Amino acid sequence: MHWLTENAGLIKTVAKGARRAKSSFAGRLDLFIEAELEWTRSGRSELHALREVSVHDYRTGLRKSYRDAVIAAYFGQLLEQVLELDHPVPEMFDLLQRGLLYLVERGADRKAFDHFEKEIARLLGLGTSSHVALLKTYGKLPFSRDHCLDLLK
């Protein structure tokens, strides 16, 4: 699983035994959750061992709308593309928190989508030209972007 944390940044974890019937992770690993994590850093790879998860918010509102779930996934994919692993950027964490809260409370719209991209570009020091600066800098954007734009028409 990939996580964006406030203090450790973007991390990748593996939850050993999570598929077992009596796993301590049962019902705790899902898309878009906000949780407190306990994990052990790997000395050999970028894949760390997840030890415990305490869910604070399941964000069930994102599961009520396909459009909202797709846009939320795009937000995560875009951050994965632009952030370095194990490098905290609290402003990006805050942006994702605010973006997901907006989707839960108001639903996805083009204004929120554009704002998210523009804020990422601004926080990265790329100006405010939104996806254009991101595209020039990173060479591509997540493939789901076109589908998101279709859903927001």
Dump pLDDT digits (tens) for 66-99. Answer: 999 999 999 999 999 999 999 999 999 999 999 9
**Quick check: 55 and 28 in contact, CB under 8 A?**
yes
* Residue 86 to residue 133: CA distance in whole angstroms: 24
The model's pLDDT over 12-50, given as tens digits with 9 standing for 90+, comes to 999 998 988 889 998 889 999 999 999 999 999 999 999
What is the reported pLDDT for 148? 98
* Residue 60 to residue 20: CA distance in whole angstroms: 24
* Complete domains list, the chain, with CATH: 2-60 (2.40.50.140), 61-151 (no CATH)
What is the reported pLDDT for 130? 78
Phi-psi map region of 27: left, alpha, beta (phi>0 left; psi -120 to 50 alpha): left
The model's pLDDT over 4-13, given as tens digits with 9 standing for 90+, comes to 999 999 999 9
The model's pLDDT over 105-145, given as tens digits with 9 standing for 90+, comes to 999 999 999 999 999 999 999 987 778 999 999 999 999 99
Sheet strand arrangement including 9-14: 2-5, 9-14, 47-57, 34-40
Q: Which pair of structure tokens corresponds to residue 3?
A: 């996580």
What is the reported pLDDT for 128? 73
What is the reported pLDDT for 4? 96
Cα–Cα separations (whole angstroms), residue 60 to 51, 94, 101: 24, 19, 11
